[in-house]
Amino acid sequence: MLSNIKETVEYLQERIGILPRTGIILGTGLGSLADEVVVSHSISYSQIPNFPISTTESHRGRLLIGKLAGKEVVVMSGRFHYYEGYSMQQVTFPVRVMKYLGVETLIVSNASGGLNPALKTSDLMILSDHINLLPEHPLRGLHIPEFGPRFPQMSEPYDHKLIDRAMGIAAKNGIKVMSGVYAAVQGPALETPAEYRYLHRLGADAVGMSTVPEVIVARQMGIPCFAISVITDEGFPETAEEVTITSIIDAAKKAEPNMSLIIKELISGL
């Protein structure tokens, strides 16, 4: 894996000519932030050596290099999920590539189902912690010391300073946002009413199918992380309605301007 990472990094370095300091991973229905990047290079995943190909609807499948809020960024417009059939090493491969490109902060967005009744459709939730219920761990297997410790500390998966700054940005701009715990499950089926109740009793405020593997790998490599969810449906058994990919994307797009504002102001202060 290390040789594959270095091959990918060498390919990108020969083409991009800059050192991106912030990495961004965009979730389902949240691709419009990519349109605000002053793009110097846009590369299809299919052209990048060793990169998987995004197969999920609404994920564009391009790596963007350029500037956002005046800062150098690398943006994944489309991510990879375990449910697509990829291994956790493949899902998190781009994060390791970002580290070797020079990324010092990782920002992740996702669409998730609300479990806390205080969260309504199209609300924003900043991740304060997570519960990993995925069936495979991204650090399982041969340990490569160059990546970081075998048993990385996860007492602060999401950077407290970045969370505080984001909450301040939201308050300044009159944006409703709360912080909460995100549960990661395999998918791709959505949860049953009993599963929604179970996850909420575990302590989760929202549930989704991504983010946690990327954050674990980033933290192993010493990259501070910030993650934000758009609540695209309400998983309260008493009021749950039928959810479709169209309704999820519509709910994400409604919240996207506020999410983008928070991310842009956060990046401008890095």
Mean pLDDT of 23-32: 83
pLDDT (tens digit per residue) in 234-266: 887 666 567 777 777 888 888 889 999 999 999
pLDDT at 84: 92
Confidence grade of residue 233 (pLDDT, cut at 50, 70, 90): confident
pLDDT at 57: 56
Confidence grade of residue 30 (pLDDT, cut at 50, 70, 90): confident
Q: In this prediction, what percent of the chain has a pLDDT beyond 70?
A: 96
Q: Which of residues 19 and 244 earns the better pLDDT score?
A: 19
Cis-peptide into 188, omega within 30 deg: yes
**Degrees to nearest 5, angle at CA 199 with 193 and 205:** 105
Determine the CATH number of domain 2-268. 3.40.50.1580
- Residue of 104, 89, 157, 99 lying closest to 128 (CA atoms): 157
Helix pair angle (2-16, 88-101), 10° resolution: 50
CB 169 within 8 A of CB 262: yes
